[in-house]
Amino acid sequence: MGKTDLSRLADLAVAVGANVQEGQVVGVVAEYGQEEFARAIAESAYKRGAKFVDVWYFDPLVKRARIEFAPEDSLDYVPPWFGERLLKLGELGGANIAIRGMMMLPRIAETNVIVNERTVNWTVVPYPTPPWARTCFPDLDDEAALTRLWSEVQHVCRLDEPDPYEAWQDRIEALERAAAALTEAKLDAVHFEGEGTDLTIGLLPTSTWRMARWSTAGGIKHIPNVPTEEVFTSPDPERVDGYVRSTKPLVLSDGTVVRGLGVGFEGGRAVEVTADEGGEVLEVRTQIDPGACRLGEVALVDRESRIGQLGTVFYETLLDENAASHIAFGSGFRWAVETDDDRARVNKSAVHIDFMIGGDDVSVTGLTSDGERVPLLRDGVWQIAAVTA
């Protein structure tokens, strides 16, 4: 990707994703190897009037050394200043941009605080790196793999459109219509059916469907994921029953790849976690705290997703979760429900782990409290008239 294209991706992250405001302090989280893009983001943010851009670099090779040589019982430790840094950014009403590309940052519990309190306008944006490209396209040489990954990232970020910003507005408006239609349907539960999947996820009485254009408590709109293709809500963590098979691999924060995941739920709890690869690591994550084995999110993705249309497995949840409908272990979103009683019931956990369960061969049906079945997705196509109109 040339300098012009790099600048366009940085502008997309700053202006459309985080929506950086004049006078804000902007945090940028990057790993070594992403310096060029971090600098492009800083330049774009300063052009929009940022007060200060603070780039925090993370070294995945240092983390690999820790995983290999540190005492096993210390691997869950996260220094307190990691979280304090995020909380202070929230106190300042700042913005935050995280660059992704197989990054293996630790999960910082305070992330949930700034998300739920809506103190920061933030976004996550992909940046192709050679190691990530080799993971996605192992049959290509390094240069060809990186070129292909850049091309696909440009496509899913709509940078190949004459006006990427207008293209994103059109897609966002379509997602907002879908979220509004789902909320209007007043569903009691959502039922997923497909090969190896028969899962019913109960919703809270005031669960409200959202798309990924959020607003801070101060009214700054931002898009947490660039790209984004989902509509989602927080379910009832005590009403999940059945069995589900993942339809794509997922990559955990330590780099573990989980393939062939299957999860059985009873009364909201994951009582069975199996996988062809990496299942033991995920099972341990679901035992970190009482909410880690319950769901905090259910999200629907239609076949118009550019990520899904490519058929590429990116091994990066930011992209893969926007290829297909998915659910997430762990923390939910209190602002996705409308009453204090329901907010108190939203799942609480230090983790949030998305995994993909949807696809064209997985049907999604809404269930109302009086037993009516409302088709939502068939062959990946929305069935609700308000969405298709």
State mean pLDDT over 276-296: 95
Sequence letter at residue 49: G
pLDDT at 59: 87
Given a cut of 90, is residue 126 above it in pLDDT?
yes
pLDDT at 217: 87
Q: Give the residue from 124, 115, 125 showing the smallest Cα distance to 90.
A: 115
Given a cut of 70, is residue 274 above it in pLDDT?
yes
Question: Residues of CATH 3.40.1830.10 domain(s) within the chain?
Answer: 3-127
pLDDT at 103: 53
Q: What fold does the segment set 3-127 form as a domain? A: Thermophilic metalloprotease-like (3.40.1830)
- The 3-state secondary structure of 227-270 reads CCCEEEECEEEEEEEEEEECCCCEECCCCCEEECCEEEEECCEE
pTM given for the model: 0.84
Bond into 79 cis (ω within 30): no
| Interatomic CA distance for residues 220 and 121, integer angstroms | 7
pLDDT at 350: 87
Q: State the chain's mean pLDDT as an integer.
A: 91
Integer CA distances (angstroms), 294 to 49, 59, 149, 180, in order: 42, 32, 34, 26
pLDDT at 263: 97
Per-residue confidence band for 64, with pLDDT thresholds at 50, 70 and 90? confident
Given a cut of 60, is residue 265 above it in pLDDT?
yes
